[in-house]
Amino acid sequence: MAEIINLRAARKAKARGEKEAKAEENRILFGRPKKAKTLAERKKAIEVSRHEGHKLVGRDEEG
């Protein structure tokens, strides 16, 4: 004979599992310490300034 289950409880358990999976993804994406975030921002700023510094300005404007 089959086991009787409560569908409401099963739905709630499934929703809890999905919610926990989403929370784990968010912990990975947004759970960096402040020091790591500022370090990444600094590296990005240096990279952008180096890239901007290598642009050739004025060559197209002279015609």
Q: How do the domains of the chain map onto residue ranges? A: 7-62
3-state secondary structure of 57: coil
pLDDT in tens, 36-47: 889 999 999 999
Q: Is the pLDDT of residue 10 over 50?
A: yes
Q: What is the pLDDT of residues 13-37, one digit of tens each?
A: 999 999 999 999 999 888 888 898 8
Is the pLDDT assigned to residue 62 strictly greater than 60? no
Residue 39 to residue 43: CA distance in whole angstroms = 6
User: How far is it, in rounded angstroms, from Cα 13 to Cα 7?
Assistant: 10
Task: Output the average pLDDT for the chain.
Answer: 89
| Confidence class for position 63, pLDDT limits 50, 70, 90 | very low
